[in-house]
Amino acid sequence: MNGIAQPFGIKVCGPEFGQTKFPGVYGVDFIYPDSAELQYFHNKGFRMIDIPFRWERVQPKLMADLDSVEMSRMYTLIRTCNSIGLQVKLTLQNFGRYTMNDKIWVIGSKQLPSKTLADVWKRLAFALKGYDNIYGFQIMNEPHDMFEMSWLKIAQEAINGIRTVDKTHIIFVSGSEFSNSIDWKINNDQLKSLVDSSDLLVYEAHCYFDRDFTGRYLNSKGGTDRTYDYNINSTDDGVEAIKPFVKWLKKNNKKGFIGEYGVPDDDPRWLVVLDKFLYYININGVNGAYWAAGPWWGNYRLSIEPKEGKDRPQMQILEKYLTISH
């Protein structure tokens, strides 16, 4: 993108955990990845990580100063990544919402007007402008069910807010309705009208390969055992799921990023689907970040957190795609 290297990355979770407890207790409800965690992915060849975080923690009061303690954690993370050799993509993991006084408000509502998102991003961009290893800002992860609220208008205000203080970093914009790639044109065609004065705008879609595209990988009874045969018709299903988004990007001459994709670790047939998917987006000039890593996932099947010092099966595929190859 305008000479900027396009690495594939890993979504390393932790800061966004404890989503019903704000601010929550650090180390109990949420956590930031440590240097050993980050070094593992660097050793595997990755040069970018995607860090999800919560609005309520960085800005406990709307339209007010950022929280110094939480920002200190973020600064430490970014500096640690820089010392290791990792770029950082920062993702506001709030789904188009903000929790206030134990109530969840939708952005664009009277209680959470669109200017609040522009405000927090203007503050964040200003606070972070001195760090050279920031890959970009994702202004809102998976906004959905926003009813009459215009995500186009809200996103444009946030872009404008960032550009008043930061002209150089990539801005990522997720699509509405969970950013799903399969119905991107239906839900998000209007986003092609967004304007970025720095021409550094990237559209972010998410893509899972199960039959309902949610990433739950359920079976016919709602469980998670032996899901492959229930969910997959062809090893090209991942390619077919992402094609609508890639076609939209090409038609509208836009840049894209796949901010979430992942497969279970308990059936090697999923690895073929993942491999074909990554090959397809790679040859079409679209990079992305795998969902997910982080020390608290436990037995979560999509996790690529090492188990007992051993790589998860998905890693053998991911290591083949470290940067866009052309």
How far apart are the C-alpha atoms of 184 and 98, rounded to whole Å?
Answer: 24
| Tally of residues, the chain | 326
Catalytic annotation on 260?
yes
Given the residues 37, 70, 157, 260, the one annotated as active site:
260
- For the residues of 142-180, what is the DSSP string, one character each? -----TT--HHHHHHHHHHHHHTT-SSSEEEEEPSGGGB
Helix-then-strand count for the chain, H and E: 10, 10
Report the 10 Å Cβ neighbour count for 147.
Answer: 7
| 142 counts as catalytic | yes
**Catalytic option among 16, 37, 56, 142:** 142
Give the distance from CA 236 to its chain's centroid.
Answer: 23
* Tokens coding 182: 């399969």
205, 180 contact by CB (below 8 A): yes
Sequence-ordered alpha helix ranges (H) in 174-268: 184-188, 228-231, 237-252
CA angle 5/43/132 to nearest 5° reads: 40
Q: Report the C-alpha gap between 74 and 61 in whole angstroms.
A: 18
Burial of 326 (0-12, 13-18, 19+ CB in 10 A): exposed
Q: Are 283 and 239 in contact (CB under 8 A)?
A: no
Nearest to 290 by CA among 34, 3, 4, 8: 8
Nearest to 276 by CA among 300, 324, 242: 242
Which residues are the active-site residues?
142, 260
